[in-house]
Amino acid sequence: MHYVGIDVAAATPSDIVVLNESLECVEASQYDDPEATADHLASSYPEVVVAVDAPRAPARGLMADDEYRGRLSPPPSPDKYLTGRAAEYQLVRRGISIYLVPADPPAWMEAGFRWFCSIIKAGFADHALQQEAGERCVIEYYPYASFVALLAGKPARKTTALGRKQRVELLRGMGIDCDYGVMTTDMIDALAGAVTAWRFYQGTAEDYGDPREGLLTVAAKLPDRATPLQRPGG
């Protein structure tokens, strides 16, 4: 079994990290062609879960429906969260910052849609429809949310020395075998996707959202209200 994380970029190549069953990094690359990359993953890794750091599809207006909103727990305030998807609402109310997915998405989200379509066309099951951990499927993830869940708190910004240290120490502590010294910030985010894919296959990840809009898979259950991690010396 292999586990893939894809950190999607619109204007530059997307970063991809692949872990094997022993949690060793067997590939850390950049690709700019979703169709060719999906075919590569399908032919190179017969049994694989792929995690994509981008929304699965545009919002479908569920959060604007009063009846639907009333079924959420807790229901949002009447004048808030009218746009976006249920997945974003469920993360935001737990203190996780995340872009709301509009009905008319920006270019980088459109790039994510293309990645999903290409991977599904290559023979991967769509988790939002199947909702089971098959031996060849694709899930949506958000690296920051997975790090918050695994750390049980909010790390510092990923572009800071402390933020990188917190993430790398976590991954090393989990036994993830990679050459962290050469990994960029985007590669670390892609690695978070591979870890999320692994935990999804193990049955220890957590889904948020509504399958009709796309489920967002987090590496572990999020705290009810995420707070910043204690800083050194704090």
Range of the domain at 31: 2-218
Contact partners, residue 22, CB within 8 Å, separation at least 6:
177
Please check whether residue 233 lies inside any domain of the structure.
no
Write out pLDDT tens, residues 15-54. Answer: 999 999 999 999 999 998 999 999 999 999 999 999 999 9
In a domain, 72, yes or no: yes
Q: Select from 226, 51, 220, 229 the least CA-distant residue to 146.
A: 220
CA of residue 159 relative to chain centroid, distance: 18
The CATH number of the domain holding residue 41 is 3.30.420.10
Cα 137 from Cα 78, distance rounded (Å): 37
Residue 230 lies in a domain: no
**Which residues are bridge partners to 16 per DSSP?**
6, 29
Where is 126: in which H helix or E strand? strand 125-126
For 169, the enclosing helix (H) or strand (E) is: helix 161-173
Fill in the DSSP letter of residue 207.
Answer: E
Q: Looking at the domain assignment, is residue 234 inside a domain?
A: no
Task: Give Cα 145 distance to the centre of its chain.
Answer: 8
Q: How confident is residue 233, by pLDDT bands cut at 50, 70 and 90? A: low
Q: What is the pLDDT of residues 165-183, one digit of tens each?
A: 999 999 999 999 999 999 9
Q: Is residue 190 part of a domain?
A: yes
| Within-domain flag for 136 | yes
Count up the domains in the chain and report the number: 1
In a domain? residue 9:
yes
Which residues pair with residue 228 across a beta bridge? Answer: 154
